[in-house]
Structure 1
Amino acid sequence: MGGTMVGVEEQRVATVDLAVRIEFCHAALQHLADQLGVDLLHIKGIAFEPQWRSRASGGSDADVLVRPSQVKRFVEALEARGWRRRSRFHTGSPFGHAQTYWHDHLGYADIHRFFPGMQPGDKTFDTLWSDRLEIRLASVPCPVPDQAGQALVHLLNEARNGMTVRRKEGVVELLGAELTAQVEALVGRVGAEVGYAAALGELDRVGDHREHDLWHVVVTRSGRVEEWRARVKAQSTLTAKALTVLRAPLVNTEHLANTRGHPPSVGEVVVEFGDRVRRGVTEIWRSRRRGRA
């Protein structure tokens, strides 16, 4: 080309503010739900009023609660549209309530099939859905729980994360007497008695409930062996208990991939499995020593 220099245009990457990206993530999830005829409620973070956010920034992902009977259809549609699953329901948390997805442009989204502390099922969802409000995120109308629903989700979420345990007077101070009464009425309607007791620091009064031990483990940050014992006890059927027992020693390969930055090899899975067994045996031994003492 006769000595003519061909310039290479420098690529510029625009940085999108996290809050803006999360808002578009909520909008994209709602748009998909509208296409599919799926009911979902936007929860936590920027979907909630500022006083019901665990973090002032609004968090780092978009959380939605999907009608339980429609979850399978919704996540299949997500995966068909480029969303990559980063965790499964049964491995994402002790409650098995959500799957995490990643989108290269929109970031992280947590898809809840129920909210920890509330009873799973369409009946609970119907209760929250019947009192829903609507906000706009990225100009898309998005359903959210009403003020009592947002306040209850906030209290349960704080208890689950071990952030704040409030006595009854602290809840009244935070919410006011009228909203506290509405929240406590909602607790009974969505089966949140144990989670709400945990939020109040009153787990002892629900000690006979099968979910008591799981909330105790979560609030006190107990060991993994105690967690799995509590998971088994929390299950409502013998089949679910048996499946939980069988799942306990398995390696969470998706979590391993997330921490390693690549799909784990067979060797890495074997090493992790051996380490899980070692940690479990050590924890049981220490627990028995404390018991003898």
Structure 2
Amino acid sequence: MQAIADSCGADILHIKGAAVDASLLPTRPEAPADASAEERALPRLSADADILVRPEHLKRFQAALRRHGWQRKTRLYSGGAVEHSEDWSHPELGGADVHIRFPGIRVTPERAFAALWSERQSRDIAGRPCPAPSVDAQRLLLLLHAARNGGPASADVGPPWTNATTAIQGRVRMLAVAFGADVALAGATGRLDEFAHRPEYDLWRLLGQPDADVFDLWVAFVKAAPTALDRVRAILYSIHPKSDRVDHQVGHPANAAEVLRAQASRLGRGALGVIRLARRGATAR
């Protein structure tokens, strides 16, 4: 990924996986006390490479990926808060998740990338220097990821937050406020109820629940959208299945009938959700 970015002049940041600083990884229980952070750390396994690309450089990076044999499996249909990355794969090299934004960050993708880039550090990955966010920014990104995958119960919360000093936690909180990610951070650190008045509250409450109702999540995505245009995009995303998503579900290029069935299924779930929502409203009254 870095070689391709260098070849086309695209700015990218490596996030999660191999890019994570050793101080943020779980430690080996048998590691000696005088071992370095790298020697104590357990490797962070990842199924793909996670890349955050400068939004202005996305098209040139996509074109370079294609030139080097990568194929796009899913695409960004909007710049809204719902979709945040594209899946790419290579027949020999595996997969890559190319992010245009990171879930939980509410400032514009351009502003977020510029801020992360300004504090970047270099990490050697596969013998090549690769830009990565600062350690504090890595803490925040890991915690935002944890907020979508179990909340405070996620194993990703311990090293970047629970084991951090009060001063470090304070820096991460300040960073979250600057990125508009304070509600998402609270979802990972057990403070979500402090933000019950915020429009993002329901979204992060539900994302922390493995059995959350799909319709409730759709409503929460719409409610949490930062702009009116993003709300429209979130509604359209909820009711209209994308062909490449259906391809992934059925395991082959979907035909018209399969796309229509997926559409009918989504509309049916939406109708049932509206009925449940109306019944809850009637009961509350």
TM norm structure 1: 0.79
Give the whole-Å Cα distance in 2 for the aligned partners of 1:138 and 1:181: 33
Correspondence for 1:97 among 77, 84, 90? 84
Give the whole-Å Cα distance in 2 for the aligned partners of 1:238 and 1:177: 37
The 5 Å alignment of 1:25-104 reads: 29-50=1-22, 52=24, 56-90=43-77, 95-104=82-91
State the shift of 1:39 in Å: 1.2
Correspondence for 2:275 among 268, 285, 288? 285
Pick which of 174-183 and 40-49 moved more: 174-183
Partner in structure 2 of residue 148 of structure 1:
136
Give the whole-Å Cα distance in 1 for the aligned partners of 2:120 and 2:237: 36
Residue type of the alignment partner of 1:142: C
State the shift of 1:82 in Å: 2.3
Displacement over 6 Å in runs of 4+: none
Give the whole-Å Cα distance in 2 for the aligned partners of 1:67 and 1:112: 9
Secondary structure of 1:89's counterpart equals coil
Q: How many residues align?
A: 263
Give the whole-Å Cα distance in 2 for the aligned partners of 1:238 and 1:190: 19
Structure with greater Cα Rg: 1
Change (3 A) 1:79 1:174: same
Secondary structure of 2:163's counterpart equals helix
Kept after mapping to 2: 8 A contact 1:52/1:154: no
Give the whole-Å Cα distance in 1 for the aligned partners of 2:197 and 2:264: 35
Secondary structure of 1:175's counterpart equals coil
Pick which of 33-42 and 73-82 moved more: 73-82
Give the whole-Å Cα distance in 1 for the aligned partners of 2:235 and 2:249: 25
Q: Does 1:207 align with 2:196?
A: yes
Change (3 A) 1:71 1:98: same
Residue type of the alignment partner of 2:263: F
Q: Does 1:193 align with 2:182?
A: yes
Structure 2, gaps ≥5 residues long: 27-41
Pick which of 268-277 and 142-151 moved more: 268-277
Kept after mapping to 2: 8 A contact 1:44/1:52: no
Structure 1, gaps ≥5 residues long: 1-28
Change (3 A) 1:165 1:95: farther
Pick which of 124-133 and 157-166 moved more: 157-166
Pick which of 73-82 and 37-46 moved more: 73-82
Give the whole-Å Cα distance in 2 for the aligned partners of 1:127 and 1:69: 14
Q: Does 1:175 align with 2:164?
A: yes
Secondary structure of 1:220's counterpart equals coil
Change (3 A) 1:44 1:210: same
Give the whole-Å Cα distance in 2 for the aligned partners of 1:247 and 1:76: 25
Residue type of the alignment partner of 1:30: Q
State the shift of 1:248 in Å: 2.3
Correspondence for 2:240 among 231, 246, 250? 250
Residue type of the alignment partner of 2:114: D
Give the whole-Å Cα distance in 2 for the aligned partners of 1:39 and 1:159: 27
State the shift of 1:61 in Å: 0.4
Residue type of the alignment partner of 2:112: T
Kept after mapping to 2: 8 A contact 1:135/1:142: yes
Give the whole-Å Cα distance in 2 for the aligned partners of 1:96 and 1:124: 16
Kept after mapping to 2: 8 A contact 1:127/1:189: no
